[in-house]
Structure 1
Amino acid sequence: MLPFADQTPMPTPTSTVDPNLVTPGFVGFAIVVVLVVAVILLIWDMNRRIRRVRYREEVREELDAEEAALREKDDEKDA
């Protein structure tokens, strides 16, 4: 520990860059808002499409079940 005791501490560097030049500002904020709105709209549209596909599948299953019931009824009449 003694060899490190005689070293002088390093000074902290001062900022030489203007913080207004490196911040995103209004343009960056506007881009983020546009991206968030676009993502929300895409998610909303995707949910709507998935729901539509699910409903179509449920209707197909109901129609298939009705058709099978009618076939069984016709088979009973023929027998």
Structure 2
Amino acid sequence: MTNQALLEALGKEIRARRKLKKLTQAGLALRANVHPNTVSLIERAETVARVDALLDIANALGAALSQLIKAAEDRAAHH
């Protein structure tokens, strides 16, 4: 699995969990205390997010960062 494939899968995982919580990108950004553009860029795999931003996003989604990474790895492996 390439780094790009994992970044894309992570973005899709964050988007899916955000939508399950019925949050907009702006709503998630507000909860995670990150810039709304950050959420958008991560979801589209157009940036490599800093670990602290990913931790904040995971917490805002009610998940551990390790859960997000594992789900992204599984998602990337199946596509």
Q: Give the TM-score normalised by structure 2.
A: 0.27
> Quick check: which one's helix share is greater?
1
* Greater C-alpha radius of gyration: 1
Q: Give the TM-score normalised by structure 1.
A: 0.27
